[in-house]
Amino acid sequence: MTETEQGMIQAICGGDQKILAQIYQQHREEFMQWLIKNYRCELGVAKDIYQVSVVVFYDNIVSGKLVQLSSSVKSYLFAIGKNKMREYLRQRQKVNFQTDSLLFDQLEHKDEGDEKIEQEKVYEAIEHGLKELGEPCKSLLEAFYYYRMGMDAICERLGYSNSNSAKVAKYKCLGRLRKRVGGENGSLN
């Protein structure tokens, strides 16, 4: 960290909002492009993560948690951003874990009458969507939902390098399937 950066921290601690605004503008574009490239997130998510990172940076300064940097302001912001992005992805994964099987859970009900007809429509839409997705998504989703295989077994069977890469692939494939099926049957959105 340079003396200038140390002076910036002291100025922010003293209430100088112009310095904070300068830091915000200076690193914004590079930070968002870095997130989009490395985490393949949407621009809106990258903007949100950047804003949260700057707020954490500011809070750390005014709370006294950050008095002196051992790296540059940019490195510190990017480290916060990396942690916030991972936190975002973990949280999103939890939400998706709870809703992941929504499409497939609908297939397990064996109700009579109109509900049974609706179930058959859902099944057909999912089956058609899986065919449209093609490989490897079709095999990955079938292994997880139909055959109830664990991620380690799926990695071994389908050649993924680790369970995290298989989970990411499953998440992306499921999102693509939802779009396809949701387009054919609005009730699955």
Measuring CA to CA, which residue among 26, 43, 24 is closest to residue 34? 43
**% of the chain residues with pLDDT over 70:** 80
Q: Of 184 and 11, which is predicted with more confidence?
A: 11
Q: Give me the mean pLDDT over the 80-88 stretch.
A: 90
Q: Which CATH number fits domain 3-98: 1.10.1740.10, 3.90.700.10, 3.30.499.10, 1.10.3720.10?
A: 1.10.1740.10
Q: pLDDT band for position 132 (50/70/90)?
A: confident
What is the residue extent of each domain of the chain?
A: 3-98, 100-188
Q: Is the pLDDT of residue 24 over 70?
A: yes
* Architecture (CATH level 2) of domain 100-188: Orthogonal Bundle (1.10)
Lowest mean pLDDT among 18-22, 103-107, 138-142: 103-107
The pLDDT tens digits for 136-152 are 888 888 888 777 788 88
Q: Whole-prediction pTM value?
A: 0.51
Buried b (16+ CB within 10 A) or exposed e, 164-186: eebbebbbebbeebbebbeeebe
Q: Place 128 in a pLDDT band, splitting at 50, 70 and 90.
A: confident
Q: How far is CA 86 from the centre of its chain?
A: 8
> Is residue 32's pLDDT more than 70?
yes
pLDDT digits (tens, 9 = 90+) for 148-180: 788 888 888 888 888 788 888 888 888 888 888
Name the phi and psi angles at 72, rounded to 5. Answer: -80, 165
Average pLDDT along the chain: 80
